Amino acid sequence: MRLARFVLLSTAVVSLYAQENRQVPQADSSYIDADGTAHVTRVVPVPGTVSPEAQRSLARQQSDAPVHQTIEERRSGTDKWQARAGEAYRKAYPANVAEDKIAGVPVRIITPLTIPADRSERVLINVHGGGFNSDSGSLTETIPIANLTKTKVIAVLYRLAPEHPFPAAVDDTVAVYKELMKQYKPKHIGLYGTSAGAVLTAEVAARLRQLGLPLPGALGIFSGFGDFSQPGDSRAIYALNGFSGHLDPPSKTNPTDRSYVGSTDLKDPVLSPIYSDLHGFPPTLFVTSTRDLLLSGTTILHRAFLRAGVEAELVVFEALPHAFWNDVNLPESREADELIAKFFDRKLGGRGV
């Protein structure tokens, strides 16, 4: 059965259509083809269940026209945005940022202003988001977590696609992890990431298992997936910013981004960890939101962890789009970062644990 294809309209998108003098559906409707394809119109108001800041963010208008960028333009844009957002996060969550190399891999080292003695024996490893081809998270995903956990965070600046497809990013992260094991016990190491980094988190864990290496003490998979062969239902519903913006859903003939996958079998147990042996994986926190294009992928992988007997928690935020916690202005971002920090505090422990 083909994936259902939806047309959904938020109040912000309705307004944008009106400005462009386009006919805007004002009623809900649905029609299901014989093959199961769904043609759906929904008029969706901005919910009152989220913060006023989130309501304003959801009401922002954005064209649904495709944006054409070269890889160089995308990287330049994300680098500039990450620098600005990183400064905003440092004001909200004071921390020190330095650059270095570990095992020959470039990294950012983010440290809180003070590290209590019982937090000095643990470390967090972040694999940033950015669609595998750019860095859209090595600061925004790490600064608040370092500050809140009072723990050093190592952001792995892994090699990027398309120049370096799978498994280059996995190999870089494994190299950093192996080097850190010389200083930290695996049970005191946490590994986490958002979006592409969430995918990489599960991939790295699968690769460590394959290599016979001890697994980290805890994982954080924040808006990701674990199966490149089957895009989830939410990919056909939501764009990067939820209901607004350009929607480019995958198809059966082109289910995924080959610039990262390369020639690898889509069901390779490291590329798609849902096909690997998940038994004995460490406690894992999954975070997503109801307008996240990777909502399905996150929940599907969470269920696979549960089936394998893994201690896996799932938190789904209301109405917000993909990786919303990268917006420092949202109270929900603060809430997400705090629950992530509390999870690692519980699972990694400290001295004598």
pLDDT exceeds cutoff 50 at 323: yes
Give the C-alpha separation, 237 to 241, whole Å: 11
Q: Which domain holds residue 318?
A: 78-348
Q: Kindly state whether residue 105 falls inside one of the protein's structural domains.
A: yes
Strands 152-156 and 123-127: parallel
Q: Kindly state whether residue 215 falls inside one of the protein's structural domains.
A: yes
Q: Kindly state whether residue 148 falls inside one of the protein's structural domains.
A: yes
Q: What is the value of pTM for the model shown? A: 0.91
| Whether the Cβ atoms of residue 348 and residue 217 lie closer than 8 Å to each other | yes
**DSSP assigned state of 70:** -
Q: Kindly state whether residue 304 falls inside one of the protein's structural domains.
A: yes
- The arithmetic mean of pLDDT across residues 110-130, rounded, is 96
pLDDT per residue as tens digits for the range 23-63: 777 788 899 999 888 888 888 999 999 999 999 999 998 88
pLDDT of residue 251: 72
pLDDT exceeds cutoff 70 at 350: no
Give the C-alpha separation, 58 to 133, whole Å: 26
**DSSP assigned state of 136:** S
- The arithmetic mean of pLDDT across residues 232-255, rounded, is 85
Number of domain units in the chain: 1
pLDDT of residue 197: 98
Q: Kindly state whether residue 34 falls inside one of the protein's structural domains.
A: no
pLDDT of residue 349: 78
DSSP 271-318: TSGGGS--TTPPPEEEEEEEE-TTHHHHHHHHHHHHHTT--EEEEEEE
Q: Which CATH number goes with the domain that contains 332?
A: 3.40.50.1820
pLDDT of residue 22: 63
Q: Kindly state whether residue 94 falls inside one of the protein's structural domains.
A: yes
Q: Which two tokens stand for residue 145?
A: 């977590």
Strand partners, 239: 242
pLDDT of residue 252: 66
- The arithmetic mean of pLDDT across residues 260-281, rounded, is 97
